[in-house]
Amino acid sequence: MAKKFVLALVSSGAEKLTAGGIILSGAIAQDMEAKVFLLIGGAYAFRKGVAEEHKKVGEAHFTTEEFQNGLKKANVPHWLEFYKNAKEMGNVKIYLCGTAGKIWKSADKDDFYLVDEVCGIGEYISAAEEADVSVVL
């Protein structure tokens, strides 16, 4: 049986979204079954019309410009590409917290990128309890 990985994205900072994508890619490379939950900040960042251009860093000690220059120099893609690639390469489901969706636009999964299902917070809690590895960013 595959190990289970859960990633909760609570931040909309590009540095945390990028780190989450890198960690998710590692989990998929190790043949883990993955569930990603888009909570308040994560839901905002995955909104259609926001995700494509979203590069703002969160509460970091560096600037957005420094971060973007570092990504470019290291040839690291936009954070959304990590999640797209992980879904193509492995068993990844992305869940939108219904409340978070309503805060930013709607609880309709079609208003967000890559979302498989809309769920309540109980789904996240249950998945985190069952996970072999759980990360919150």
- Give the chain's domain count: 1
pLDDT at 103: 94
pLDDT at 90: 97
pLDDT at 1: 83
Q: Looking at the predicted structure, is the pLDDT value of residue 33 above 90?
A: yes
Confidence tier at 124 by pLDDT (50, 70, 90) = very high
User: In CATH, what number is assigned to the domain containing residue 92?
Assistant: 3.40.1260.10
Write b or e for each residue in 81-114: b if 16 or more Cβ atoms lie within 10 A of its Cβ, otherwise e. ebbebbbeebebbbbbbbebbeebbebebebbbb
The model scores a pTM over 0.85:
yes
Rg (C-alpha) for the chain, rounded Å, is 14
Q: Residue 13 is part of which domain span?
A: 4-136
Looking only at the bridges linking them, the beta strands covering 117-119 and 33-38 are unpaired
pLDDT at 88: 98
pLDDT tens figures, 86-109: 999 999 999 999 999 999 988 899
